[in-house]
Structure 1
Amino acid sequence: MTTASDLRSGKTHRDENFPVASWIIRPEHRALILAFYNFVRTADDIADHPTLPGEEKLRLLDLLEAELTGTGETQDVAVSLRRALAARGMPPRHAVDVLVAFRMDVTKLRYETWDEVIHYCRYSAMPVGRFMLDVHGESISTWPASDAICAGLQINNHLQDCGKDYKALNRVYLPRDALAEAGATVEMLGEAKAPPPLLSCLQKLAVRNAALLDEGRGLNSGVKDFRFGLEIAVIQGFADRIVGLLKVRDPLSERVHLSPLAMLGHTLAAVAGEIGRRAVGRHPVTKSAAGA
């Protein structure tokens, strides 16, 4: 019998645009975080599988949820996460929420408005941040800032991979109303280089996403765990750099991802900056405040 794990793409936590269970995080949390990541990555790979029929994708996603919340033993990533969560006395709600987004990926190929995209992010990205906050025992009051950062990370990814998503999966996360306002069409995503109307649309969306990321600027000062605060600062630094590239580059024809060397440099800079900020008790400065 084919299991969900048999359909993994080969992508691991080391291939993401942001650190996952990095050396910064406390060692006692890493196994649970990796169990959550492997579950989510497996579900994502099922939803994005290029040849698997939609009905089979939905069946496997349902099976993952059933074994995550039940007693089955056939899907190893679901069983591993179920046991890891049980050992910490944590419910599976955030992983269940993420499955909602992957079912949407199977059944919904277009988004009409920015609000529809944010609704998708409510299930695809925000539960990941909420899970991390719960792992570290942080207050629910940190959720809104986390939601903004996680949605911003997701939309960065949508903009980076817009051409690939269209060509490989016929999936478009760019809001139709934004495309129409710029005079762009979905079919332009199939070209080797973004025509001016599409490039204008993409860069305007990047500007809007930068503002969304800025809404989460205070998250690292809102968490109590020092090392988790460092990790958040690193993630924010990566997100800021990527959205900066998206504001000025064409994701269809130019590099809009960070190289390993750039990621290392941004990591060290973010860690040093966060340590310095905490040492003097300063709060993060939003871009809007800095420009006032």
Structure 2
Amino acid sequence: MTTAAELRSGKTHRDENFPVASWIIHPRHRAPILAFYNFVRTADDIADHATLPADEKLRYLDLLEAELLGKGDSQEEAVHLRNALAQRSMPPRHALDLLIAFRMDVSKLRYENWDEVIHYCRYSAMPVGRFVLDVHGESTSTWVASDALCAGLQINNHLQDCAKDYKNLNRVYLPRDALAATGATVEMLGEPAAPAPLLQCLQALAARTESLLGEGKPLAAEVRDFRLGLEIAVIQAFANKIVRMLKVRDPLRDRVRLSPLELIGHSVAGLTGEAMRRAVGRPAQSRSAAGS
């Protein structure tokens, strides 16, 4: 039988829009985060597989869940994460939530409105931030800002990849009501460049995502762990730059990715800004101010 790992796309933690367990994170926390990432990446690649039938995708996702819960040892990523969680006496709740999202990806190809997209993010993105916070022993009070940041990161990705998702998977995360509001259609995602109504829709969604990222801005200051705070600040800097690009560029035609120089520059800016904030003891920015 083909293992779940053999269905991987080849994408690794180094290919994401944000750092994953980078050198900034304390070494003692990197192993469980990477075990979690590899499990999630495997499941995500199964849900996004271009040729695997839907029933087979669901069968593999069920198998990963079963082995994460201790019912078998054939899937390396599930066993590895199960062991990592056991070493920390952590439950599998966040990984199980993500599997809900990947099952949705198999069966749900359209979203009616923004609330449906946020509901999807509740399972596809928010558990990632919650897991990292739990690994660091942070308070669940940080989940509010984390959820907003993670949802913003997810929707950034949806906007960046909207044409690819439509062409390769017939999957559209752009809400139907947002498309209708500008006179755009799903079929416009197949064009080499976004027609004016679609571009208006995409840029309006980017503006809404920018507000969501603003709600997540206090997170770096809310966490106690210094190194985690730095990592979050870098992630926020990346996300802010990408959403600004999405507000003015056409993701069907234009490059909406950070270059190596931009990655370095925004990393330095994020690190420096958060380190200085902590050095002078400046309080966390309020959520209302962050969203303004």
- Describe the shift of the 1:146–1:225 C-alpha distance in structure 2 as closer, same or farther (beyond 3 A): same
Match of 1:137 in 2: 137
Deviation string 1:247-272 (CA, Å, 9 cap, x unpaired) is: 00000000111112211111111101
- Describe the shift of the 1:48–1:90 C-alpha distance in structure 2 as closer, same or farther (beyond 3 A): same
The CA distance in 1 between the partners of 2:201 and 2:213, in whole Å, is 18
Deviation string 1:194-227 (CA, Å, 9 cap, x unpaired) is: 0000000000000000001101111111100000
Moved more, 265-274 or 196-205: 265-274
8 Å contact kept, 2:215–2:288: no
8 Å contact kept, 2:215–2:287: no
The CA distance in 2 between the partners of 1:285 and 1:7, in whole Å, is 43
Match of 2:87 in 1: 87
Match of 1:125 in 2: 125
Give the superposition deviation at 1:286: 6.8
Aligned-residue sequence identity (percent) comes to: 75
- Describe the shift of the 1:193–1:65 C-alpha distance in structure 2 as closer, same or farther (beyond 3 A): same
Q: Secondary structure at the match of 1:248?
A: coil
Match of 1:242 in 2: 242
Moved more, 263-272 or 165-174: 263-272
Deviation string 1:146-189 (CA, Å, 9 cap, x unpaired) is: 00000000000000000000000000000000000010000000
The CA distance in 2 between the partners of 1:242 and 1:112, in whole Å, is 25
Match of 2:33 in 1: 33
The CA distance in 1 between the partners of 2:134 and 2:62, in whole Å, is 24
Runs of 4+ in structure 1 over 2 Å off: 283-292
- Describe the shift of the 1:31–1:272 C-alpha distance in structure 2 as closer, same or farther (beyond 3 A): same
- Describe the shift of the 1:57–1:291 C-alpha distance in structure 2 as closer, same or farther (beyond 3 A): closer
Match of 2:160 in 1: 160
The CA distance in 2 between the partners of 1:248 and 1:284, in whole Å, is 30
What is the correspondence of 1:1-292 to structure 2 with a 5 Å cutoff?
1-285=1-285, 289=289
User: What amino acid sits opposite 2:150 in the alignment?
Assistant: C
8 Å contact kept, 1:218–1:283: no
Q: Secondary structure at the match of 2:247?
A: helix
User: What amino acid sits opposite 1:160 in the alignment?
Assistant: Q
Give the superposition deviation at 1:70: 1.9
User: What amino acid sits opposite 1:62 in the alignment?
Assistant: D
The number of residues matched between the two structures is 292
User: What amino acid sits opposite 1:2 in the alignment?
Assistant: T
Give the superposition deviation at 1:71: 3.3
User: What amino acid sits opposite 1:22 in the alignment?
Assistant: S
Provide the alpha-carbon RMSD of the alignment.
1.3
TM-score for both structures, normalised by structure 2:
0.98
Q: Secondary structure at the match of 2:36?
A: helix
Gaps of 5+ in 1: none
The CA distance in 2 between the partners of 1:102 and 1:253, in whole Å, is 28
The CA distance in 2 between the partners of 1:71 and 1:291, in whole Å, is 45
The CA distance in 2 between the partners of 1:148 and 1:98, in whole Å, is 16
Give the superposition deviation at 1:109: 0.2
Give the superposition deviation at 1:285: 4.5
TM-score for both structures, normalised by structure 1:
0.98
User: What amino acid sits opposite 1:204 in the alignment?
Assistant: A
The CA distance in 2 between the partners of 1:130 and 1:255, in whole Å, is 31
Give the superposition deviation at 1:283: 3.3
User: What amino acid sits opposite 2:57 in the alignment?
Assistant: K
